[in-house]
Amino acid sequence: MESRAQRIRADRVRADRKSAVRILTVIMIGIFVLVGMRSYAAIIQHENNILERENEYLQAEIDSLESQLVDETRVTRIENVATQQFGMVYPSADNVVKLGNVESEVKNLAASIRSEAYN
């Protein structure tokens, strides 16, 4: 038969082995969690890089459109389009048509605005 000291020693060895297995299990789980988190971080970083490239492309397109807008809204550009494409001409004494008495209309305009405002 085994002596009591040998059984206690054997129980301690078994308990130590169980503790070691538990510790190793916790360490392995921790390693798997860290690897998983690192993998997830790499995926997120890749998606972030894609979004940054798309953002740079869109910002370049916005800058280009703003530049085109500035070019297209210049007075000289509008004047060229109006005269060349739509046949606009500058007014002169020959091509102006007056409707009615312009001077009396101007005086009456102020009076009509005043009467509409206070009535």
Digit-coded pLDDT (tens) for 51-104: 999 999 999 999 999 999 998 888 888 888 888 998 888 877 777 777 766 555
Please answer whether residues 53 and 59 qualify as being in contact, where contact means their C-beta atoms are separated by less than 8 angstroms: no
Q: Domain range holding 81? A: 4-91
Within-domain flag for 109: no
According to the model, what pLDDT value does residue 21 have? 95
Whether 118 maps to a domain, the answer reads no
Exposed, middle or buried by CB within 10 Å (0-12, 13-18, 19+), for 5?
Answer: exposed
Q: Which two tokens stand for residue 33?
A: 């969690």
| 40 in a structural domain | yes
Quote the number of domains for the chain. 1
Kindly state the tokens that stand for 29.
């789980």
- 92 class by beta-carbon count within 10 Å (0-12 exposed, 13-18 middle, 19+ buried): exposed
pLDDT interval class at 112 (50, 70, 90): confident
Half-sphere exposure in the Cβ direction for 20 (13 Å, CA): 6
> What average pLDDT is seen over the chain?
86
- Model confidence at 38, pLDDT cuts 50, 70, 90, reads very high
Structure confidence at residue 66 (pLDDT): 94
- The span from the CA of 96 to the CA of 90, in Å, is 10
